[in-house]
Structure 1
Amino acid sequence: MATECSSGESWKQQPPYRHSKEDAAKFDKKHEASCHCGRVKYWLSRDAPLVAKYCHCRGCQVLHGAPFQWAAIFHKEDMMFENGTDNLVFYQSGEQTLGHDLPCKVSCAYCRSPIFDEGRRMALLFPTLIKFANKAERDAFYPQCHIFYSQRVVDIPDGKPKWDGIDGEGSLLMENVA
């Protein structure tokens, strides 16, 4: 059911999709995550993301049906699918086309849960899919800042830095900017 790119299914041989018994035996499983229906399941090998952010861009609002998105960034090698790669669909939002053309959005073909945004080297995961064992595990994913805050639909007075675009590249906004 997965949507293939023009080069076939070569993506299945690359991280994070590559899966073999040898890979699974060597992979240090720290966090388990799955889509809503459970057909897609993956593991993370790190205790915490490289960085976590809240994104308020219009694209995230529309594609996630929410005022903002909680994103955690990992290397693709830090992620391994246990099952469900045959239940994935790919969407290239820039071109508005289906297919595994990077960067792309990856979702479950059955329940349509967004799984992650795949870049050329990085995976932007959604921590709401992770089955955290406790508050300390969840807190390790707590966002450091807000990005595209100038496009927000709701104010979040949490004291975290709020950037009008990408963090470090745009202007830093005041907490109570209207």
Structure 2
Amino acid sequence: MIIHTGGCRCGAIRFTANAEPIYASYCHCSDCRRASGAPVAAFVGFYAADVRFDGETGATYGTVPVERSFCGTCGAPIAYTDKRLSDRIFFMLGAMDAPENYPPRVHGYVREQLPFFHVDDGLPRMETMTAPRPSGENQ
């Protein structure tokens, strides 16, 4: 069994996933940019039942339905969850121990992409979210 691991900068938060990821993407939305401090964010998603936290799970913030987590000690962004996809957790690619193993497969929210930042990788480009929500919301 392949174990996927990650955590924060200071080591207070560590996590493992014991199944293959179900999702990997870039997000260009303004909320992800602000949360990550970068011109684009990248995520890898797992089913929450396959994830275990060792030690802290992190502090959280956000507006329903999205909640983001970060380390309360070092401030590193860790993950986000969405109540509409309550069985999943999406880790910041930078929180993974081997981020090179999770190449994004799609760009989301390209309608909000910064005009000076473009990755010409041939991946699909979605105007809004890349993981459809059960309610049909794509905002």
TM-score computed with the length of structure 1 as normaliser: 0.65
Say if 1:144 and 1:41 are closer, same or farther in 2 by CA, change over 3 A: same
Partner of 2:137: none
Which deviations, in whole Å up to 9, do the C-alpha atoms of 1:102-124 show, x marking residues without a partner? 63111110111111102322101
Q: Which has the higher strand share?
A: 2
Partner of 1:150: 111
Partner of 2:136: none
- Structure 1 segments unaligned to the other structure (5+ residues): 1-27, 96-101, 170-178
| Offset of residue 40 of structure 1 | 0.7
| Offset of residue 44 of structure 1 | 1.1
Compute the RMSD of aligned alpha carbons.
2.1
| Number of matched pairs | 127
Say if 1:83 and 1:122 are closer, same or farther in 2 by CA, change over 3 A: same
Report the 3-state secondary structure (helix = DSSP H, G, I; strand = E; otherwise coil) of the residue aligned with 2:49: helix
Task: Return the index of the structure with the highest Cα Rg.
Answer: 1
Rounded to whole Å, the distance in 2 between the matches of 1:34 and 1:71 is 14
Matched to 1:151, the amino acid is E
Which deviations, in whole Å up to 9, do the C-alpha atoms of 1:29-82 show, x marking residues without a partner? 702211011111111112x31011100001001111111111111111111011
Partner of 2:8: 35
Rounded to whole Å, the distance in 1 between the matches of 2:2 and 2:24 is 20
Partner of 2:128: 165
| Offset of residue 138 of structure 1 | 3.0
Choose which of 39, 57, 72 in structure 2 pairs with 1:67: 39
Partner of 2:135: none
Matched to 1:43, the amino acid is T
Residues 29, 43 of structure 1: 8 Å contact kept: no
Partner of 2:95: 129
Choose which of 92, 97, 100 in structure 2 pairs with 1:138: 100
Runs of 4+ in 1 over 3 A off after TM superposition: none
Rounded to whole Å, the distance in 2 between the matches of 1:58 and 1:143 is 18
Residues 10, 74 of structure 2: 8 Å contact kept: yes
Rounded to whole Å, the distance in 1 between the matches of 2:66 and 2:131 is 22
| Percent sequence identity over aligned pairs | 22
